[in-house]
Amino acid sequence: MSRTRKLALAAIAAIVGLSFNVFGVVPPGDAHGTPAFALAADPTITITNHGLNYPFSPAQLNAKVGEWVIITNEDPNWIHSVRAEDNSFAVDVYPRGRVRLIISKAGRYPYYCEYHPFNHNPATLTIS
């Protein structure tokens, strides 16, 4: 195996190690996760640390039913969550961690961080 290929496999392993699947939206039988690594094209919510503010970016994200939604926490210090206001899904994302969410039901899902409810911007995930 070439050195380049070994490095590529190590990089993929590192990404997979940081990622895990979350089941979103009841009924659970309709939600599913697949172990894999994120692609650049996946719709992504990024959480960053700006002092006392931890913006969700973009504030409005559109995705399709069954599509991977990647949540990346670039904050090196704090765990954050993405919890739908209607409790359809709730995921914790560790510092510098990444979670993949698959939502099986179309809808408009305003969400928040349960750990810092006043330090994030209002944000919505719209699934069509």
Query: Tokens standing for 110?
Result: 């305003």
Among 45, 80, 88, 109, interactor with Cu ion by CB under 5 A: 80
Going by DSSP bridges, is the β-strand pair 44-47/56-57 parallel, antiparallel, or unpaired?
A: antiparallel
Q: Is 115 in the site for Cu ion (CB under 5 A)?
A: yes
Q: Shortest distance, CB of residue 125 to Cu ion, whole angstroms? A: 16
DSSP one-letter code for 5 = H
Residue 113 interacting with Cu ion (CB under 5 A)? yes
Binding-site size for Cu ion (CB under 5 A) equals: 5
Running DSSP on this structure, what letter comes out for residue 85?
A: T
**Contact between 93 and Cu ion per CB under 5 A:** no
Q: Per rule CB under 5 A, is residue 98 in the interface with Cu ion?
A: no
**What is the enclosing helix (H) or strand (E) of 11?**
helix 3-18
Distance CA 35, CA 1 (A): 24
Q: Smaller CB distance to Cu ion: residue 30 or 92?
A: 92
The residues that touch Cu ion, with contacts defined as CB under 5 A, are 54, 80, 113, 115-116
